[in-house]
Amino acid sequence: MPIRSIFRGLVLAMAAALASASCVAQSPPPWASTRGKPATPPARAPASAGPAQYKIVTASKTGTYIQIGRDLAKWVAEPAGIELEVLESKGSAENVRRMRFEPNVKLALVQSDVFQAYLDEAKAGNAEAGKIIRPLRLIMPLYDEEIYFVARADSPLNAIHEIRNKKIGVGPIGSGTALSARTLYQLMFNEPLPPENAKYLTNEEALIQLTVEKSIDVAIIVAGQPAKLFTDMQPEARKFIKILRLDEGAVETTRARKTYFPATLRASSYPAWLTADVPTLTVKAFLVTYDYGLQSTVVNLNRFADSLCTNFDKLQASGHPKWKQVKLELPPLGRDWRYYGPVEKRLRNCIAGQVAARSSASPAADQTQPPRTGACTEQELVLGLCKR
């Protein structure tokens, strides 16, 4: 069977993306450059009767972000009386700019390393980075996004730390994948990825260049598992591609773990493709908004927060499997990171109310039972049923 048939849909998606890019190349979107623009987002059109019409920027149609966005639109925004349009994008770096400057984009999904990179640039004196990132606020952390290092099945490469001086598909310019790939390379090898070895390609383009044209050696893809890009593959795909493994004993891995964390790509996520679990690295995904002060926007986002809290069980039951890894909590943030104040207050009150309700509904502990031994679960800690 031809390789192009095995990666079904990817060639058509690539062609559509390229055609779309050529159509808009002469007319860049308003968020493409911020030089000379005011420090505040463009004014919204006057509100009309009916639901608020907001937008969320996600990533490519074969990624996990867009499915998370659709879940938020259906299970959270709709019950809150908000029509949430889910937009495709190149990824996190583009999402930050669109969140900041594109009209009616009120929410964005952003990788933690991309958010931190903007903050670091701002702190280093980059005025444009500061103008973009400082007004952005977090709603809540979501889940870990796995990083896939894909090579040809017959490649001599087997481990992530072996990619030095290889030609690498790093994701499109403006994507979180591109930043993650470059950051990881810098961390692992104490030197930047050589410009001649970095190929800025979509996921679909990278897989074609890897397997058909053989013009790159590795494709780096960031997507929460199970990712549609890989679940759509046929079993024959394993004859052509494989995943490089994380070697915990490599010094390059120790360096990478200054920013990234170990994870596992589970064979159960891709039963038609993987025959065993594969250790890899991961980065955190965040739900982000702007520091809005307009009363109508604050009210709508407060309703969104209430709906997120009360419908969280529906997200976990009916949404993308990644929702099962999300915890309804607001942990302490790193330096220079801030929650959006009105929503933070709303979520904390809702979370506290739910914890109190569950606690009051729990029967009194049987004092005759022997003391608990073994590790506590997170639920038991919240309910006061166990102490570490």
Residues 161, 261: one domain? yes
Is pLDDT at 228 greater than 80 in this prediction? yes
Supply the pLDDT for residue 272.
86
Q: Do the domain assignments include residue 20?
A: no
Q: What is the mean pLDDT of residues 267-289?
A: 93
Residues 193, 297: one domain? no
Contacts of 103 (CB under 8 A, 6+ apart): 30, 41, 42, 43, 44, 45
Question: Over the stretch 27-48, which tens digit does the pLDDT of each residue have?
Answer: 444 344 444 444 444 334 444 4
Q: What is the mean pLDDT of residues 185-203?
A: 93
Supply the pLDDT for residue 236.
86
**How crowded is residue 197: how many other Cβ atoms within 10 Å of its Cβ?**
17
Three-class DSSP category at 369: coil
Residues 319, 250: one domain? no
Supply the pLDDT for residue 12.
42
Q: Do the domain assignments include residue 312?
A: yes
Determine the Cα–Cα distance for residues 295 and 173; give it in Å rounded to an integer: 36
Supply the pLDDT for residue 258.
81
Residues 165, 253: one domain? yes
Q: Which of the 8 DSSP states describes residue 359?
A: H
Q: Do the domain assignments include residue 47?
A: no
Residues 72, 131: one domain? yes
Supply the pLDDT for residue 119.
87
Residues 335, 280: one domain? no
Residues 228, 304: one domain? no
Q: Do the domain assignments include residue 333?
A: yes
Q: Do the domain assignments include residue 278?
A: yes
Domain count, the chain: 2
Q: Do the domain assignments include residue 208?
A: yes
What does the angle CA 339 – CA 68 – CA 4 come to, to the nearest 5 degrees?
A: 135
Residues 276, 339: one domain? no
Q: Do the domain assignments include residue 117?
A: yes
In this structure, of 67-76, 223-232, 319-328, the range with the lowest mean pLDDT score is 223-232
349, amino acid identity: N
Residues 280, 297: one domain? no
Residues 124, 240: one domain? no
Look at residues 284, 306, 329 and tell me which one is the last residue of a structural domain: 284
Residues 109, 91: one domain? yes
Expressed as residue numbers, the domain containing 99 is 52-144+285-352
Q: What is the mean pLDDT of residues 92-102?
A: 92
Question: Over the stretch 321-357, which tens digit does the pLDDT of each residue have?
Answer: 999 999 999 998 876 889 999 999 999 999 888 877 7
Look at residues 284, 318, 342 and tell me which one is the last residue of a structural domain: 284
Per-residue DSSP letters for 59-107?
--TTSSHHHHHHHHIIIIIGGGTEEEEEE--S-HHHHHHHHHHSTTEEE
**Domain harbouring 132, CATH code:** 3.40.190.10
Q: Do the domain assignments include residue 159?
A: yes
Residues 180, 135: one domain? no
